[in-house]
Chains A and B, each alone.
Chain A
């Protein structure tokens, strides 16, 4: 595999630059270094509402779309269960698991698939599907790179949802300096204050987890400070979010 650190840097740069092309660029960067053949990204607002964002080719797009039409498959499972679904060999899949999808998938060139949810705790916004035209599990460093790709997609998509002012990293929009806050390196658990603050802002403003995180990001952006630092202010009760009076 190509240098993983290179991928991490490339992903961080794409997320920092933001914009509607970010998801596709992230996937292409991932395809360039991982031994997978195809990729697709679907954003979801529930098991029965989804929107394909990007697909590398017809096969990926077809497999992706089919799962949601059928209501079964690894994407649906990864999304609802909140964990990756890794199938190193489609031929070995038991008959009970997604019978219709598995039969259809076996008619394509795809032989292995790896689906990663785009999530942070209770925030689950979609899935990344990686398809491979030969069987075999990802090596540990390859799996790590795939998970990083999913993290990058999560942050890029949250940035897109927040609108142009909050694209990319708060305080770092358009800046090509790479990953200043360590979001795309290290463990997601390095950011506990952000998750805790998200919960607190949910209560302060009566918002969903995703909207609460979005407010935190916007606040960090406006203050031009790292999001972890602003989150610590919220947790330390030095910063409160108040509902706007109408």
Chain B
């Protein structure tokens, strides 16, 4: 590892540790998001970062940015209802614009961004399972795509921040927390019922049944509770889960 790589690895580890710290301690969500924006700039070879969050009333709010210029770019998208960050939020997918001067999707936004000196922009969704709560915009003064590695790190940072935000909301809103806890509790009961079904069908003991359920959920990229529900309702045939050999996907 070169000295440069080593420094980067250390910075990366520090960024995740400090994000994780904010999740455990009593923290402010805005502080978390500010940290996310500055971490992105420090780690991902981009020049500015900005963050939009859903206000859960159907609109997006600019919540943080690494620079005033990035803040204005986010605001411009919200006010004009046009831009990669909005599309990213609506579609829940990453959007990459390696060269703004050659992309005609958002003429007003592109014109404004080029004016501000940016040549490339990337948008990453802030999502947790089904829920998309916002989007992260990364701006570069040079054209070119983000490396796959940087894209992956950017999304991982966004994911950690998302978990933090949702947790924060839940803690502030005791009613939401109560709803989530109850849902989690009932999922757990459902998993026990599904374990019984698999144990009986496959002549397994209950921990084998659970391991099977868990490995299949991971393999199919499903929530354990959703797979359990499918096993109970018969939407997933237990024969498919019990078939010997590597798990078969759908």
A interface residues (Cβ-Cβ under 8 A, vs B): 81-88, 94-96, 116-117, 119-122, 137, 140, 143, 147, 187-189, 192, 195-204, 209, 235
Contact = CB atoms under 8 A, between A and B. Distances in A.
Interface stretch (B19-27, B67-75, B190-198): B190-198
Interface in B174-210: 174-176, 178-180, 182-183, 185-186, 188-201, 206
A204 B203 CA distance: 12
Given A122-B193, A202-B196, A209 B232 contact: yes
Contacts of B196: 195-203, 235
A35 to B, nearest CB: 15
A209 B193 contact: yes
Given A86-B179, A188-B189, A199 B200 contact: yes
A96 B56 CA distance: 9
Given A94-B57, A199-B200, A203-B200, A84 B193 contact: no
Contacts, number: 95
Contacts of A86: 175-176, 178-179
Given A83-B180, A96-B58, A235-B206, A122 B190 contact: yes
A117 B196 CA distance: 23
A84 B197 contact: no
Given A196-B195, A197-B196, 18 more contacts: A82-B186, A84-B178, A86-B178, A94-B56, A96-B57, A121-B191, A122-B232, A189-B188, A198-B196, A199-B192, A199-B193, A199-B195, A199-B232, A200-B196, A200-B199, A201-B196, A202-B232, A203-B196
A234 to B, nearest CB: 8
B193 A121 contact: yes
B233 interface: yes
Contacts of A195: 189, 192-193, 196
